[in-house]
Structure 1
Amino acid sequence: MNLSICVISFYFLLSFSISLFIGGLYFIINDMAIFIEWEVLSLNSSSIVMTILLDWMSLIFMSFVLFISSMVIYYSDDYMHGDENLNRFIILVLMFVLSMMFLIISPNLISILLGWDGLGLVSYCLVIYYQNVKSYNAGMITALTNRVGDVALLLAIAWMLNYGSWNYIYYLECMSGDYQMTIIAWLVVLAAMTKSAQIPFSSWLPAAMAAPTPVSALVHSSTLVTAGIYLLIRFNLLFINTYLSKLLLLFSVLTMFMAGLGANYEYDLKKIIALSTLSQLGLMMSILSMGYADLAFFHLLTHALFKALLFMCAGSVIHNMKNTQDIRFMGSLINMMPLTCTCFNIANLALCGMPFLAGFYSKDLILEVVSMSGLNLLIYLLYFLSTGLTVCYSMRLTYYSLTGVFNFSGLGSISDCYWIMLKGMLGLLFLAIMGGSMLSWLIISTPEMICLPPLMKLMAFIVSLLGGLLGYEIFQFKISWKMSSMLNYYTTNFFGNMWYMPTISTSYMNRSSLSLGYKIIKSVDQGWNEYFGAQSIYMFSMNFSKISSILQYGNFKIYLVMFVSWVGLMFLLMLF
């Protein structure tokens, strides 16, 4: 039964992915989009309408999500082989993918919220899949951080009551300068920052590594964390050339720098790759805040290909190392797992922007556009420092895990023996090599000439080379020991702990703050507010209805009493 549900899901998603990709190519060639309105329910003058937007962007993104999901599900059949609840795991992954599909095709804030909340709920269920204290804590910080974005989206929906519809796509161009749309833009950017884990909401993303590795491959490549980027790509007309775009640029570049710096101090294999995802999300968000939405989407697609492959290779290594994730216990894996390490190296080089791999076409273009944009010196330096740090931690990871001395506690059967996992990885290997050039010809139809001075043209190559050399030289055991003894403990702890953001995010969720919230609820929401608010209105309405119903009985005694009272009142008034 387990094998059948995996295979059926794999073939269904793969066939759907291929057909959507062909449809996306047709839409690009003919420059067309389809807007579908389906009237679900009509009651008197009110109607509930489901809207669907199909254009080249949504179709190609859906095809990528479905292709990566199919490979991850096929890979999970081997990775989760000993799990008694494999069917439940696969169904949760399918619900996750369905929520992402719902979000991609929605031009309506209500249906976007359904997909958005679906992603948040199912991600919580997947993060706590391994039922232990660490998973529960990680799931809680993930859910609570994402609830901030959900509330922002709900407020944006409430604010759109000022317009005639929740289909935001109608108002993007004509209402871009309106102050009400500006408020909606602020709320949408806040929601996207929480979902895409930008500063100060970054702490949940490495914590979500408590989920099984196939889920990490799916979440960090094309679904949960990219939902915020995709939403801002759709809303990009609202905040281009505004104060909001400058603020978003600062936060995203700081996120990119912080994640790149933190990955160089991390020893957990999955957390290093998670921090690299955070760095790339900062890169996408920053280029998006400058107004280059197509470039951000281009890098979103290429990043999805090699990051899914990178996580799947890491999962294969962890599986072989008997669930050990510390890279200090690895080493010389290239001799025992040559095929896995080949895929791992290709994905790593694509992440670094190695020429003619998938990541090169989008990353190099983004860095050249940044060089041409006339940014200030701080943003420019942080951009290229972050690029160098990416190559630095990638070389460090290669040095610790793939080369050097084998450091595991016991020599087990470490080999490329999991064929289903290898087939899942090889399905993504071709696209991690060729996907960038293919997409560059499709998305960027007209080649553009970027003229820069030779030094600025070579800047990306120079910082990558320096970062690689630094990563190899510094993180050898002898030199890294001397470096750590030279640096202060608090300095290394600050850089390695994401600038204390996980501590800040969790330390205030203690017993005293929760008890304060309980007291506020009891004294305000369920206390005076309830007594003078809803309950008071209820009691007044009930008593008034009793009096009105008594008056409507038509009893002669009541009218007699009312007449006598009225005469007595008039007599008193005449006396005074």
Structure 2
Amino acid sequence: MCFMIFFFFFFFSLIMYMFMMYFIMENMVIFLEWEIINFNSMSIVMSILLDWMSLLFLMFVMLISSSVIYYSESYMHSELNLNRFIMLVMLFVFSMILLIISPNMISIFLGWDGLGLVSYCLVIYYQNMKSYNAGMLTALMNRVGDVMILMIIAWMMNYGSWNYIFYMNFMKNDFEMMIVGGLLIVAAMTKSAQIPFSSWLPAAMAAPTPVSALVHSSTLVTAGVYLLIRFNLLLMDMMFLKMLLVLSSLTMFMAGISANYEFDLKKIIALSTLSQLGLMMSILSMGLPDLAFFHLLTHAMFKALLFMCAGVIIHMMNDIQDIRYMGGLVYYIPLTSLCLNISNLALCGMPFLAGFYSKDLILDVFSMSNLNMFIFFLYYISIGLTVFYTIRLLFYLMINDFNLMVIYNLYEEDYIMLKSMFMLLFMSLVVGSSLSWLIFKYPYMIFLPYNMKMMVIYVSMMGFFMGYLVSEMKIYSVNKFLLTYNLSNFLCLMWFMPSLSTYGLNYYFLNLGQGITKNIDMGWSEIYSGYGMYNILKKYSILYNFFQINNFKVYLFSFILWMLLMYFMLM
């Protein structure tokens, strides 16, 4: 079954690629409207927008989904409900497809809510307390975005249709459209996990690893970025976009720092996704949607590969995710290590790999823009931190000593997993250059001073040195040396965001609920309802029982007394 679905998705991705190239060459856009039902004056219409952007994104989603489903056949082979898992993944992919091809807010909402609902089902898949907590946090955070989309639908009732593409250019300065833009930015921030909605992204690592590979590359977290790219004409020169620039830069910085203090392999990769999402959002806020889309596509490939490699390593290590137990893996699982290192270097922006073409262009265009020093330093420090946690991960996994068991029980990988990983490895090598040469037409005349151009090299070298320092020495000694020892708890816990977004938000409500339960449910309402009546009846039944088991004369005498009392009262 997995192979059939893999073949179906892979075949469709090739078709999408051919269509996309044709659409670019002919400069075509197809807008389809399909009338589902027509009743009196009411008609329900499904509209589909096909242009080079939606087709290109569809191609990437299909390709990554095909390799993830093929990978799942081996990764989840001991799972009893494998078919249910595959169905959930397919539902997830179809929700994303609906969101990509929709020019209509109603169908966008269906895809958007579908992603949120199915992601909840996938995060709680392993059904333990940690999964349930993570699933609830994910669902509730995404629910905020759903409410924003519903409010957008309500505000767009001021116009004649929910097809947003009709209003892009000429309704820009309209008050209703400004409100729609603000709501849209908040919705995108929840889905793409920007501050203050960041805490659900590392928590969603409770899902199976193939799901993580899909979520963090091309589906759930990229939905917000994609929607903002689509709406970019509307959002230009808005105050909300400037606020988004600050928040996304801070997200990038915060995720980079937290990844350096984390020891869970999957969480480190999740935090790197958060950092890259901050990069996409910030470059989008500067009015460069094509560049954000370029980085979104290149990032999708190597991030899916990175998660797949992490899945193989976790399998090999008997489900241990702590990187402190690992080391020397390059000697035992060389092919997985090759994939992991190449995807890690692509993440860093190593020349001529996928990440380099988009990341370097983003940094060059950013350096030419006239932004303040705060954003400038946040940007470059975050780039340095990316290299920092990548090199740290590389040392812990590949170079340091093996720290787990006496007997080396690591063996060469499963070939089904390797095939799907090699497909993405090839894409991670070629996708950046091919997109850069074929599709994204950017002015390559970048004029910068020597030191400004070399700034990327400076921060990367600094990050490399720090990563080496932290992984070779004990991290706590380096912390003491850098005077961040007391801050490590604050930095490791994403600036206390998980605590603030869960216990911090619901503490007073839970307290109030406890008080109400104690005083009303277990207090007054108990005394004056079931429990109180039970007590009264119990006492009287004990009294009657006392009369019944005693002398019959006493019982008869009390009966005569009762009759006399009744007689006198009636008189």
TM-score, structure 2 as length reference: 0.88
Aligned partner of 1:366 in structure 2 is 362
With over 3 angstroms needed to count, the CA separation of the structure-2 counterparts of 1:519 and 1:60, relative to structure 1, is farther
Aligned partner of 1:269 in structure 2 is 265
* Offset at residue 150 of structure 1 (A): 0.4
1:404 and 2:404 matched? no
With over 3 angstroms needed to count, the CA separation of the structure-2 counterparts of 1:451 and 1:12, relative to structure 1, is same
1:422 and 2:418 matched? yes
Aligned partner of 1:482 in structure 2 is 477
**Aligned counterparts of 1:82 and 1:351: Cα–Cα separation in 2:** 32
**Aligned counterparts of 1:54 and 1:264: Cα–Cα separation in 2:** 41
SS at match of 2:444: coil
* 1:208-246 C-alpha deviation (Å, 9 max, x unpaired): 000000000000000000000000001111222221111
* 1:48-77 C-alpha deviation (Å, 9 max, x unpaired): 000000000000100100000000000001
1:468 and 2:464 matched? yes
* Offset at residue 441 of structure 1 (A): 1.2
**Aligned counterparts of 1:105 and 1:508: Cα–Cα separation in 2:** 38
With over 3 angstroms needed to count, the CA separation of the structure-2 counterparts of 1:374 and 1:277, relative to structure 1, is same
* 1:118-177 C-alpha deviation (Å, 9 max, x unpaired): 000000000000010000000000000000010011000000000000001100111111
Aligned partner of 2:121 in structure 1 is 125
Aligned with residue 228 of structure 2, among 224, 227, 232: 232
**2:476, 2:485 within 8 Å by CA — same for their partners in 1?**
no
SS at match of 1:230: helix
**Aligned counterparts of 1:90 and 1:474: Cα–Cα separation in 2:** 40
* Offset at residue 483 of structure 1 (A): 2.1
Aligned partner of 1:525 in structure 2 is none
**Aligned counterparts of 1:488 and 1:294: Cα–Cα separation in 2:** 38
* Offset at residue 179 of structure 1 (A): 1.2
SS at match of 2:495: helix
* 1:480-524 C-alpha deviation (Å, 9 max, x unpaired): 23123454654100111000000001113547504758999xxxx
Aligned partner of 1:103 in structure 2 is 99
**1:298, 1:443 within 8 Å by CA — same for their partners in 2?**
no
Alignment of 1:189-200 (within 5 A): 189-200=185-196
Aligned partner of 1:71 in structure 2 is 67
1:258 and 2:254 matched? yes
Deviates more, 1:15-24 or 1:510-519: 510-519
With over 3 angstroms needed to count, the CA separation of the structure-2 counterparts of 1:437 and 1:116, relative to structure 1, is same
Aligned partner of 2:88 in structure 1 is 92
1:309 and 2:305 matched? yes
Aligned partner of 2:154 in structure 1 is 158
Runs of 5+ consecutive residues of structure 1 not aligned to the other structure: 521-576
Runs of 5+ consecutive residues of structure 2 not aligned to the other structure: 517-571
With over 3 angstroms needed to count, the CA separation of the structure-2 counterparts of 1:455 and 1:488, relative to structure 1, is closer
1:500 and 2:496 matched? yes
The aligned amino acid for 1:267 is: F
Aligned with residue 27 of structure 2, among 26, 31, 36: 31
The aligned amino acid for 1:361 is: Y
Alignment of 1:192-211 (within 5 A): 192-211=188-207
Aligned partner of 1:326 in structure 2 is 322
Aligned partner of 1:351 in structure 2 is 347
SS at match of 2:37: strand
Alignment of 1:386-401 (within 5 A): 386-401=382-397
- Bigger Rg, which one: 2
**Aligned counterparts of 1:400 and 1:257: Cα–Cα separation in 2:** 22
SS at match of 1:413: coil
**1:313, 1:340 within 8 Å by CA — same for their partners in 2?**
yes
Aligned partner of 2:538 in structure 1 is none
Aligned partner of 2:436 in structure 1 is 440
* Offset at residue 402 of structure 1 (A): 0.8
1:15 and 2:14 matched? no
**Aligned counterparts of 2:406 and 2:265: Cα–Cα separation in 1:** 19
With over 3 angstroms needed to count, the CA separation of the structure-2 counterparts of 1:181 and 1:343, relative to structure 1, is same
Aligned CA RMSD, in angstroms, stands at 1.5
Deviates more, 1:216-225 or 1:238-247: 238-247
**Aligned counterparts of 1:412 and 1:214: Cα–Cα separation in 2:** 26
SS at match of 1:197: coil
SS at match of 2:43: strand
**Aligned counterparts of 1:280 and 1:171: Cα–Cα separation in 2:** 30
Percent identity, aligned pairs only, is 63
SS at match of 1:141: helix
**1:241, 1:290 within 8 Å by CA — same for their partners in 2?**
no
* Offset at residue 299 of structure 1 (A): 0.3
**1:146, 1:195 within 8 Å by CA — same for their partners in 2?**
yes
Aligned partner of 1:279 in structure 2 is 275
**Aligned counterparts of 2:117 and 2:402: Cα–Cα separation in 1:** 41
**2:49, 2:101 within 8 Å by CA — same for their partners in 1?**
yes
With over 3 angstroms needed to count, the CA separation of the structure-2 counterparts of 1:294 and 1:517, relative to structure 1, is farther
Aligned partner of 1:550 in structure 2 is none
With over 3 angstroms needed to count, the CA separation of the structure-2 counterparts of 1:78 and 1:410, relative to structure 1, is farther
SS at match of 1:40: strand
Aligned with residue 41 of structure 2, among 24, 38, 45: 45
TM-score, structure 1 as length reference: 0.88
**2:305, 2:421 within 8 Å by CA — same for their partners in 1?**
yes
**Aligned counterparts of 1:17 and 1:519: Cα–Cα separation in 2:** 57
**Aligned counterparts of 1:511 and 1:285: Cα–Cα separation in 2:** 32
**2:283, 2:291 within 8 Å by CA — same for their partners in 1?**
yes
SS at match of 1:475: helix
SS at match of 2:311: helix
